[in-house]
Amino acid sequence: MLEQLQLFEDEPDPTSREAKVATTQFEGRVQKLLEVMKRITFNILVWGPSLRSQSTVAEKRRQIHRRLKDEKHHCWFSEEFADPPPGVSLKSYELAQAFEADMIVMLVEASAPGVIGEMHDFCNHKELLSKILLFFPKDMVNSYDGQGLVKELDEGYRIVEYYKEEDISSCSLLTKVLKWVQARRSYLYSHSSIGSGG
């Protein structure tokens, strides 16, 4: 017990000039390492209602795209790509994009049947599920989609975020996307040798 007390007595006084300098230097080195995490970027697809649509969900899609670009991620709408090469269907072309992407944000809207079709096409590939964050309207929960595929994805894979109309006009969806992407960034940093410089 005395040895332990002596050990603590040998510690520099936390208010001493020496301790303050050491603490500042240590915190500086930690912050420098954390800057590496901010340089981790992902290839992210943002799928949803047509960019020609004036709906609030389509506008939220554009806002999410802009913010992810601001965070220095490589971010695309499916509409940004050229038409599929000859002999390749749009479904196959978008499937290839999905496999190449690191992450996919999918905003489903009742009045946008194309997105519902994409949801069925791409969520049927279990290899893609870990890449997808699916926003699904709460007022469609009792629909065929809501009680079928979406329910399975929600209960079995936890990739579904249900939203209400007011969530679109607030920052709720955008906040969830940014937290999701940042958590992936943090996980990659924490579970690799990036932080140690190795």
Q: Say which range, 47-56, 138-147, 157-166, has the weakest mean pLDDT.
A: 47-56
What pLDDT is recorded for position 75?
96
* pLDDT band for position 5 (cuts 50, 70, 90): very low
CATH topology of domain 42-190: Rossmann fold (3.40.50)
Share of the chain above pLDDT 90, in %: 61
> Average of pLDDT values for 11-23?
73
Q: What's the N-to-C CA distance of the chain in angstroms?
A: 40
What pLDDT is recorded for position 194?
57
Judge contact between 135 and 107, C-beta under 8 A.
yes
What pLDDT is recorded for position 198?
44
User: How high does pLDDT run on average in the chain?
Assistant: 88
> Which one is predicted more confidently, 147 or 19?
147
Judge contact between 150 and 72, C-beta under 8 A.
no
- What are the boundaries of each domain within the chain? 2-36, 42-190
> Average of pLDDT values for 46-62?
92
Q: How would you class 106 by CB atoms within 10 Å of its CB: exposed for 0-12, middle for 13-18, buried for 19 or more?
A: buried
Which residue reads 């009792």 in tokens? Answer: 142
pLDDT above 50 for 187: yes
* pLDDT band for position 157 (cuts 50, 70, 90): very high
